[in-house]
Structure 1
Amino acid sequence: MTMPSLPGKLLYGSISEPLWIEYDRRIGYHSMDNTHYHRAYELFYLYNGERNFFIGDSVYHVRAGDLVLIDSNVVHKTSELDKPNHERAVLHYDHAFFAGLIREETELLLAPFGADHPIVKLNLQEQMHVESLLASLLSELSESPPGYRLHIRNMAIELLLFTARHTQKRKQLPSVELTPVQRKVTDIIRHINQHFREPLHLDDLAKQFYISKGHLCRVFKEVTGFGFSQYINTTRIKEAEHLLRETDLSITQVSERCGFENFSHFGKVFKELSGLSPRAYRKLVQK
């Protein structure tokens, strides 16, 4: 189902706010250009089209009517399959969004994000219910009547509550059968996730996993949407951000613990992915 009465793009809030919403009707082919992870919990609903979704260490085929749930700080990326055009709504819930709720309510609403399978398959009736909630939310956003922010917050909670109740009732989905190429890339990703603090070189991994360097780079990009080095850098910088927030380690020590062999390279990659130098990032988050 499409939302023809809405503009082709709507935005609410920003990544630094408790609730951040994006609605897009995209024409043609579109893939995420940048590496992507954030503190917020992400709820993604696909109205139309098909997407390839890389989440954590696995790849999923997402179809119209699917809900995608992405946990806080999990690396993810979407890319096209064979079909152009897609329409989606994305809600990002920062930790601050739940500040007014009691602990049991917060745990209920966030429980689906910790599930083993991040894709929620909905039947037609369930799709219609989710789309009615989104239509109410997005119409308020588009028209901005008095009190629209209250309504948007209420609908955002309703979406989480529906998802939480649905996932409690649903049966465990059968595991998706991966192709040999997807299994190989998944093994490589898991190795990177376990050993990113150590030197990781393309030559060594190609030999370890019995694959040529060129083929490894090509299929890694096809399956995940990330370049090989891009994924390693993203994994390392995500850990660096955690250490800068939660520890008193020096920036040099953080660089070393995250697997960077060159301090100046660490600073360059950190600023490229985080938008700030390591020192500026620490100053901002430790205010």
Structure 2
Amino acid sequence: MDLSKFISGKIYLNQYVHRLEQNGSSFHLHYWGVMPKHYDIVPHKHSFFEICFVVDGEGYYIDVDCTYSLQKNMMFLSRPDVLHQIKSKDGLALLYVAFELIESESSEEWIEIIREARKCSKVVVPVSDDTVATLLWKSLLIQTTKSEQVFYEEMLTNLAYSLILSLLQIFVPYSHSDRPKKSVEMISPLLRQAKLYINDNLESPLKLPDVARQFHISGRHLSRIFVAELGVSYSEYVQNERIQRAAALLKTTDLSIRDISIKTGFKTVHYFTRVFHSVMGSPPRVFRLLYIDSKTTSYTEY
């Protein structure tokens, strides 16, 4: 597969495919990458999954203290909060996607599947040209070149969802009988209202007592609701929403980084840059170049 033909594909994917909702699951897609020459990067970790497909080249993938050789037709999984690193002297041709399950909008079945993916020990897997995930990824990139078609966005969304499923199947090989049969866990109306309020007011400070006051409850009560129903603190949730909104604006608008930091509620550009880099693995300016610039064909941090 000649990735140079599909560089512009990442732009369309990052513009149109941010969220996938089907069959009891809701995924947020942080970014899609097409990189003909990916060199060394520093050890880092992030709060979401990232799956990479080696289209060509040789290198190494380091997961905590384990080092794996990489070559053509291999896929590797970077799990949330796990330190990892990619190294390649001559550059790897990589396709990659970063995503996370929105647990509050997904079924218990899906939450369990993602928990299994977090515990996955087989993080580097060889694939073939006719592996379903390989074919779907190629089909998705081909579809990005068909923007004149009537059902363009619908095709992208459905192919992307099928790809995510096929990738998870590689690393979490559930059979149909293995899958847990549990009902969808509904979040409380109060939490749903709080999430909507946060989403609509990301430019504001969103201090816990102030938001709690909007719903006539104490800050402690609201904090407990977030931890009990989402498994994260209130401040973690707000920061994650700010970063997701910032990433979307970087990928889909030409707003300045300063304007984006203001729109997403960060006090200073410096603080925004530091937090964004910590969560996403690259500073805002580099992130924008990686995912919306068709001229960016190589990447290294050394």
Query: How does the TM-score come out when normalised to structure 1?
Result: 0.49
Query: How does the TM-score come out when normalised to structure 2?
Result: 0.47
Higher RCO structure, 1 or 2 (CA under 8 Å, sep 6+): 2
